[in-house]
Structure 1
Amino acid sequence: MTRTRFATIRAEGQQLYGVVVEGGVVALSGEFTQWRTLRDVIAAGGLGALAAAAEGRAATHANGSFDWEIPVPDAEKILCVGVNFPDRNAEYKDGSAQPQYMSLFPRFARSFTGHGRPLVRPPENHTLDYEGEVVVVIGKGGRRIAASDAYDHIAGLSLCNEGTIRDWVRHAKFNVTQGKNWDASGAIGPWMVAFDDAAQLDEARIVTRVNGEVRQDDVLARMMFGVREEIAYISTFTTLMPGDMIVTGTPTGAGARFDPPKYLVPGDVVEVEVEGIGTLRNGVVDE
């Protein structure tokens, strides 16, 4: 089953949104001027209208003629769940059992780039690491959402390489924000796939490769806090809004956990793949 893929691209200096088709993207932002970005489309319940408008049409922008951007470039919130697989918890070697509550931290949109564009390693520190994850894009907002209703609030799914400057997550005692928010250190994309079946999450397997070598391979069903719990917990303290993104957690196998560590260097290529969503691919360059 092929699900509709919604994307944001940049072509000739303009940011456009539309639907991914064979060979490229049908840009539709010029036809739906009441909606500035995909966040507006999602908030207005307009994804179906976009899908219908693209039906049977050829790409207006062929692959190679544009750059991919983050699918929702102006989300109000991007929240990430940390240490959410049992093997990741064990990596910390502190003897702790599964925590009672999930670990969360924010990321800013500027810290992500799009599919096919390079992750940027800053000159201040070279411990750039990868983390393959699934992204949940909120469709219907809400507060104190019951876990049993959580999937009704999802508009779509995407992929994330939640790139991290490892040394900078250790600068302070209790937070990781500064190590997680270097400009263009991570990526989200290539697109947002419409969510219409619980199996898209319940049966998802995430695989991360660096230069073709499998580094991470696990299933979302093993997460300590599943997506339903994430939505319920997060919406307890903050109102989830249409277009908000939840980065759900990464399996074991990040570069920092090798001996010696395998941090990313210029020329590396990282791929994050989930069947039914797609493959997010990014190179690495120095700033």
Structure 2
Amino acid sequence: MTILTPAIATFHADGIDRFGCLTDGGIVDLSKDFSERYRDLRAVIEAEALGQLIKAAEGRPVDFAADEVQFLLPITHPEKIICIGVNFPDRNAEYKDGQAQQARPSLFPRFERSFTGHGQPLLRPPESVQLDYEGEIAIVIGKKGRRIPNEKAFDHIAALTLCNEGTIRDWTRHAKFNVTQGKNWVKSGSMGPGLVPFRSRDQLDDIKITTRVNGELRQEDQTSRMMFDFSYLVSYVSTFITLVPGDILVCGTPTGAGARLDPPQWLQPGDVVEVEAEGIGRLRNGVEDE
């Protein structure tokens, strides 16, 4: 696991769900100091206290090695997870449907049980072999808002994390107008390892994001090339939804998913998928049959 900047994670150790600060040396357990004040990281986000936790971890020895714990979703029980589809220009061309670049973002919901944490296996269901990967950056909302102006959108972002927005491809085509069926299989995707506090828009201006499968580079692009940038997505989604602390927007994947290779290359048991982004870290998961 690579930690490029202080991050706060949710994890399970010694029979208890905890939260703490990730370092390259391990995890500083902060839940023993703050659990009476904050029940989980969603409460920490709502209290705008991520920075307080990171400061509390400074100079302290680690309590757990990373391989001693089970990483959970950074935000447990988010009210909403909204995903953005086809948000890089080459992704639009991948569809080969003759349609022009879309004028507005495509959106779909995912639910908490469709994700697992860093280091935990992605599950390939018995109903399909077409488990695919999608490396993405996710933003976590820190301040409630509705009809948020574009110029105020960054004020509503609390943290960044990584997502492998795993998909069962053939199930995204079971109906004419949606992809929800293929996007919500239990533990088909992952999120983490932790939350990196959002400090300024410079953090999001031009991040390189990559996805590797068994060490092979499959996806690589820069956030500066996104068709709909982070502030626009916050503003657009908040037009029809009230965003609340802990909500997650998963902001789109570059070209290079397994479905678009010739021939397609689906994930199989034993594969390892790594999603990495500058300044956020690396999300790593193996693959197992459900």
Per the normalisation by structure 1, the TM-score is: 0.97
1:102 to 100, 105, 109: 105
**Structure 1, residues 118-146: CA drift from partner, whole Å, max 9, x if none?**
10000011100000000101111211111
> C-alpha separation between the residues in 1 aligned to 2:23 and 2:276?
19
Say whether the 8 Å CA contact 2:138–2:249 is kept in structure 1: yes
Residue 203 of structure 2 is aligned to residue 194 of structure 1: no
SS of equivalent residue, structure 2 residue 99: coil
2:27 to 25, 35, 38: 25
Which residue of the partner structure matches residue 228 of structure 2? 225
1:59 partner letter = V
**Structure 1, residues 82-109: CA drift from partner, whole Å, max 9, x if none?**
0111111111111111212110001111
Say whether the 8 Å CA contact 2:209–2:276 is kept in structure 1: yes
Question: Which moves more between the two structures, 173-182 or 20-29?
Answer: 20-29
Which residue of the partner structure matches residue 40 of structure 1? 43
1:151 partner letter = F
Which residue of the partner structure matches residue 169 of structure 1? 172
Q: CA deviation at 1:77?
A: 0.6
Say whether the 8 Å CA contact 1:22–1:58 is kept in structure 2: no
Which residue of the partner structure matches residue 76 of structure 1? 79
Residue 139 of structure 2 is aligned to residue 136 of structure 1: yes
> C-alpha separation between the residues in 1 aligned to 2:192 and 2:95?
29
1:71 partner letter = P
Which residue of the partner structure matches residue 178 of structure 1? 181
Which residue of the partner structure matches residue 274 of structure 1? 277
> C-alpha separation between the residues in 2 aligned to 1:36 and 1:111?
23
**Structure 1, residues 62-95: CA drift from partner, whole Å, max 9, x if none?**
2221111111111111100001111111111111
1:194 partner letter = P
SS of equivalent residue, structure 1 residue 61: coil
Say whether the 8 Å CA contact 2:134–2:166 is kept in structure 1: yes
Which residue of the partner structure matches residue 15 of structure 1? 17
Which residue of the partner structure matches residue 125 of structure 1? 128
Residue 151 of structure 2 is aligned to residue 148 of structure 1: yes
Per the normalisation by structure 2, the TM-score is: 0.96
Change (3 A) 1:235 1:263: same
Residue 288 of structure 2 is aligned to residue 285 of structure 1: yes
Question: Which moves more between the two structures, 145-154 or 125-134?
Answer: 145-154
1:51 partner letter = I
SS of equivalent residue, structure 2 residue 39: coil
RMSD value over aligned CA atoms?
1.3
1:172 partner letter = A
Q: CA deviation at 1:25?
A: 1.3
> C-alpha separation between the residues in 1 aligned to 2:252 and 2:4?
25
> C-alpha separation between the residues in 1 aligned to 2:198 and 2:241?
23
SS of equivalent residue, structure 1 residue 87: helix
1:73 partner letter = T
> C-alpha separation between the residues in 2 aligned to 1:106 and 1:87?
23
2:106 partner letter = S
Residue 203 of structure 2 is aligned to residue 210 of structure 1: no
> C-alpha separation between the residues in 2 aligned to 1:230 and 1:210?
28
> C-alpha separation between the residues in 2 aligned to 1:27 and 1:38?
13
1:72 partner letter = I
**Structure 1, residues 126-179: CA drift from partner, whole Å, max 9, x if none?**
100000000101111211111111111111111111000001000011111110
**Structure 1, residues 40-65: CA drift from partner, whole Å, max 9, x if none?**
01101221221222121111222221
Say whether the 8 Å CA contact 1:21–1:58 is kept in structure 2: no
Q: CA deviation at 1:2?
A: 6.0
Which residue of the partner structure matches residue 115 of structure 2? 112
> C-alpha separation between the residues in 1 aligned to 2:194 and 2:236?
26
SS of equivalent residue, structure 1 residue 31: helix
Displacement over 6 Å in runs of 4+: none
